[in-house]
Amino acid sequence: MTSGDHPGETATVSSPPSRGVVALAARRVTKRFPGVVANDEVDFELRAGEVHTLLGENGAGKSTLAALLCGLYQPDDGHIERGGQPVRLRSPREGLARGIGMVHQHFRLVERFTVAENVVLGDPAQPALLRRADIEARVAEIGERFGLPVDPRARVSSLTVGQRQRVEIVKVLYRGAEVLLLDEPTAVLTPQEAEALFTTVRAMTAEGKAVVFISHKLGEVMAVSDRVTVMRGGRVTGEVATAATSARELAELMVGRPIEAEVRRGSAAGGEGDGTEAGPALEAAGVRLVQGGQTVLDGIDLAVFPGEVVGVAGVAGNGQRELAAVLAGITAPTSGRVQVAGTDVTGGGARAARGAGLAFVPEDRLGTGLVPGLSLTDNMLLTRRREFLVNRRAARREMATAIESFEIKTPGTEAAARVLSGGNAQKVLLARELAGLGTGAGPRAIIVASPTRGLDIGAAEMVRGLLHDAREQGGAVLIISEDLDEVRSLADRMVVLYRGRVALEGPTDELTLEEIGLAMAGIQPEGAVAPG
């Protein structure tokens, strides 16, 4: 049986004539959700043999377009074409029957099933009596052909995130996909895994398959794609050949205005003689944390000095979140010690940490950071009752200044925090937590989880600027994030966590992407001695 031989479809052979044929297209498609036009008369054309990136900021409409292209959603207006013919895809199953397969941002595998079982699960074309061994052989063969090594017999629950993604890709290839839609596939990968994925993508296009690659990371977009369609606010703002564009031009299409020169990461205040001899502003020593019988933090030593930005990186689930909670006093460590500006705050709760001079911007901005039902002014007062106790007017004035200087979009200082968008909530939190950092009047150290996650380019630039200003003023900044690019662009020094341990540490400029990636994957460089 050969895969994907559908009438009227010419994209299945690898010989050059099939290349350049329009394999899949959206013609003026519109998709509305309550209160938002997620896709507004979008035109998109994917040719056989190409990697075509859909680029855009959060909320631009990329996932919605992909969902329309694979049959998960149906357009309110306009239509989809496959191989030049209008088609109605009433479900992802119908999409797959026409050779269109999507790999979602959030995987949809069954944990307790094996790889091979997941691959054939719910496949209507699967003969009832196909032997397990045959399925496993076919899975292995696909894996080999496209550089997607997976053990067909492994249980999905035992696989890493990167391996699970491979299973998802194998699954759609197994079902004969000639067009693959990959929604932000690199978001969960180490640099090496991302590189391996790009090799896979090239192996697929070399066979004439077409790939829609969704991303908002300009570097990888420039590296992997043949063409780029840029979206903003549900509309297409440009379609360009990668060879004829630049990262800067793409960024401008993304945000719809000229971009300032990238905020440069200056050097840490180190040599000024104002910092290190004063001792760390934030320090963890031998921190262990056991939760539900699992060791999630396994002897962490970490110090952040005044005037530096330290970044903690790692693949999700390797202890970053727990480390932030322990340092901020939210979770008491099982053993070990946490100090803020020389004061031992271990086990004293968030109040002790804050009292000693630690500010904290959690990942969950509106859940644990701000109180949604309170006004912005009252949220300002929340963590600083002492100063503002009798001075609500001062708090309101401070909030008004913040609204103006951070360009926070809100009806005013008395608006409830719940009406803020994610980016604006982040700015309010930073305004509150960063105020006076390092000046003697405010906190000595700050922990910020995923500082620019979900922000548009403009807001992200501003947040980066704020953190660097805080550092220049002698503040100690610790950034904890699962986004490696974010950590590298912000931090003077980096710490990589793997399974609750520090797997690598050093100045950001001196660590290669390869070293970092290996550490994130828990692989020791040759000749190195395993820690502990």
- Least distance between ligand ADP and beta carbon 171 (Å): 21
Closest to ligand ADP by CB, 337 or 453 = 453
Task: Tell me which DSSP letter residue 369 carries.
Answer: I
Asked if residues 253 and 232 have their Cβ atoms less than 8 Å apart, the reply is yes
User: Tokens 């409409």, residue?
Assistant: 61
60 binds, among ligand ADP, Mg ion, none (CB under 5 to 8 A by kind): ligand ADP
Token pair listed for 522: 């828990």
Closest to ligand ADP by CB, 231 or 417 = 231
Distances (CA, A) of 290 to 3, 298, 301, 308, 338: 49, 8, 16, 30, 16
Measured from the Cβ of residue 48, the count of other Cβ atoms closer than 10 Å reads: 25
3-state secondary structure of 294: strand
Task: Tell me which DSSP letter residue 244 carries.
Answer: G
Closest to ligand ADP by CB, 215 or 410 = 215
3-state secondary structure of 467: helix
At 422, which amino acid appears?
G
33 binds, among ligand ADP, Mg ion, none (CB under 5 to 8 A by kind): ligand ADP
Asked if residues 240 and 227 have their Cβ atoms less than 8 Å apart, the reply is yes
- Dihedral (CA of 261, 224, 176, 126) sign: negative
- Least distance between ligand ADP and beta carbon 442 (Å): 35
- Least distance between Mg ion and beta carbon 221 (Å): 15
- Least distance between Mg ion and beta carbon 394 (Å): 41
318 binds, among Mg ion, ligand ADP, none (CB under 5 to 8 A by kind): none
Count of residues of this chain found to bind ligand ADP when the rule CB under 6 A is applied: 11
Q: Which of 331, 345, 341, 251 is nearest to 296 (CA)?
A: 331
**56 makes contact with ligand ADP (CB under 6 A):** yes
- Least distance between ligand ADP and beta carbon 66 (Å): 8
Query: What gap in Å lies between CA 194 and CA 242, rounded to an integer?
Result: 19
- Of 12, 39, 63, 331, the one binding Mg ion by CB under 5 A: 63
Site string for ligand ADP, 15-44 (x = CB under 6 A): ------------------x--x-x------
Q: Which of 227, 201, 207, 202 is nearest to 46 (CA)?
A: 227
- Distance linking the first and last C-alpha atoms of the chain: 53
Closest to Mg ion by CB, 211 or 477 = 211
- Least distance between ligand ADP and beta carbon 459 (Å): 15
Q: Which of 147, 70, 136, 62 is nearest to 103 (CA)?
A: 70
**287 makes contact with ligand ADP (CB under 6 A):** no
Stretch touching ligand ADP by CB under 6 A, among 43-51, 56-64, 188-196, 458-466: 56-64
Closest to ligand ADP by CB, 35 or 258 = 35
341 binds, among ligand ADP, Mg ion, none (CB under 5 to 8 A by kind): none
**62 makes contact with ligand ADP (CB under 6 A):** yes
Asked if residues 433 and 446 have their Cβ atoms less than 8 Å apart, the reply is yes
- Of 64, 165, 318, 410, the one binding ligand ADP by CB under 6 A: 64
- Least distance between ligand ADP and beta carbon 63 (Å): 3
Query: What gap in Å lies between CA 532 and CA 60, rounded to an integer?
Result: 46
User: Tokens 């710490």, residue?
Assistant: 495
Site string for ligand ADP, 144-163 (x = CB under 6 A): --------------------
Q: Which helix (H) or strand (E) holds 478?
A: strand 476-480
- Least distance between Mg ion and beta carbon 323 (Å): 28
Closest to Mg ion by CB, 255 or 370 = 255
User: Tokens 């793409």, residue?
Assistant: 250
Positions in the binding site for ligand ADP (CB under 6 A): 33, 36, 38, 56, 58-64
Residues engaged in binding Mg ion (CB under 5 A): 63
